[in-house]
Amino acid sequence: MRAAYDCDVLVIGGGIVGLSTAYAITRAAPGTRVTVLEKEPGPARHQTGRNSGVIHSGIYYRPGSLKARYAVRGAAEMVKFCAEYGIPHAVTGKLIVATDRSELPRLHALVQRGRENGIPVRELGPSQIMEYEPEVRGLAAIHVGTTGICDFVAVARQLARGSGAEIRYGTRVVRVDRRPERGVAVLTASGDIVRGRVLVNCAGLYSDEIARLTGDDPDVRIVPFRGEYYELARPELVRGLVYPVPDPAFPFLGVHLTRGIDGGVHIGPNAVPALAREGYGWGTVRWRELGATLTWPGSWRIARRHWRYGAGEMRRSLSKGAFAEAVRRLVPGVSEGDLVPAAAGVRAQAVLRDGTLVDDFLIREGERTVHVLNAPSPAATASLPIGREVARRALQVL
């Protein structure tokens, strides 16, 4: 029967999670034939290549959650991986700054959460904040020493090279035929058929659609949220990474400032509904995808529950002045003229039918399938342990 298959494991999606999964499979089970199908002409063209480039420490995440375990472990592994392969990276540490008294209890809760997750945290007063960041103002802050930055696109390319997998770029999946006794056959847009014994779905923004193509109903929908960024025209205002205290009701971290590997400082992102799964601007509308979002009951429940928060995010999207106002809470010296538009990203946020924003990694299995249905930040940071977990599940099915 082996000859009837083009590969043993067929991975859909050439972002960092899909490539890490291929990498992990070939290391755990040498000789396993892996094929990766990616619709773009190269790797990491969407979520992996359109984020802040931060190696997250894991301080935000509930102790015991997959996010917490994978981020703490993944951060250390990512630094080691980058060092081994000469990928640009740095362990910079970061500040999380409270600028209003109402944020102080949440900041103290983060200190406790960090300690529970085994993360070194230093509490700072106003004068100590300025020792790290002379232009930043706040009532209190914490310094997280294990946070860093790296080039995640370069990481993805190295995973692709090191996996030994066959990677087919420019290959979009249009149909999946799954039969328990015959494995999985995939039809591509070019008319090719690729057969595998097991299918691993790492399709990111389209992961729910791929799951439905296999016949599995995940009962979640990907609702795309666009994150808009600016570049700081005066990067000397910021030395490293500066974050606000996040609202625990949302899986978004708020507008922050990040000095990247290239020396530039990115500001953002906000979080606004995208009008397409790859809707990197308001002018990109895909009516079928927008219709799928609008007909999902969870989308309307999110809107009703969080309309005040959403209105603020929309205001920052439509008004550069409002965006600058949010930045000035952390760095008062930033003016509207200091903000230079930069490339946006889109987050693949899984939403349940009742409107719950899925806040952890979500991996589900079907007959001869493994679906990664929610892999938000810190997925890039945690990609190496996530890849091993997905690989373990796929190899169990073989």
Q: Which region holds residue 132: left if phi is over 0, alpha if psi is between -120 and 50, else beta?
A: alpha
Residue holding tokens 């703490």?
A: 72
Q: Which domains does the chain have, with CATH numbers?
A: 1-89+147-219+360-398 (3.50.50.60), 94-145 (no CATH), 223-352 (3.30.9)
Upper half-sphere CA count for residue 233 (Cβ side, 13 Å):
10
3-state helix, strand, coil in the chain (%, to 5): 35, 30, 35
Structure-token pair, residue 17: 């999670």
pLDDT given at position 251: 62
Residue holding tokens 């592994």?
A: 77
Residue ranges in the chain whose pLDDT is less than 70: 1-3, 249-251
2 SS3 class? helix
Cα–Cα distance for residue pair 308/301, rounded to 1 Å? 13
Main-chain dihedrals φ then ψ at residue 48, nearest 5 degrees: -60, -40
The model's pTM: 0.95
Residue holding tokens 């005066």?
A: 234
On whether the CB atoms of residues 159 and 380 are closer than 8 A, the answer is no
395 SS3 class? helix
Cα–Cα distance for residue pair 114/62, rounded to 1 Å? 9
- Cα–Cα separations (whole angstroms), residue 325 to 133, 320, 332, 338, 340: 19, 9, 9, 12, 15
pLDDT given at position 307: 86
Strands laid side by side in the 54-55 sheet = 54-55, 148-150, 89-91
On whether the CB atoms of residues 179 and 288 are closer than 8 A, the answer is no
pLDDT given at position 1: 42
41 SS3 class? coil
pLDDT digits (tens, 9 = 90+) for 308-320: 888 989 999 999 9
Closest CA relative to residue 116, chosen from 60, 154, 160: 60
On whether the CB atoms of residues 293 and 273 are closer than 8 A, the answer is yes
**Cβ-based neighbour number of residue 167 at 10 Å:** 20
Compute the C-alpha angle 80/86/92, nearest 5°.
60
What sign has the CA pseudo-torsion 78, 80, 86, 89?
Answer: positive
On whether the CB atoms of residues 373 and 208 are closer than 8 A, the answer is yes
pLDDT digits (tens, 9 = 90+) for 152-163: 999 999 999 999
Cα–Cα distance for residue pair 215/366, rounded to 1 Å? 9
pLDDT given at position 248: 72
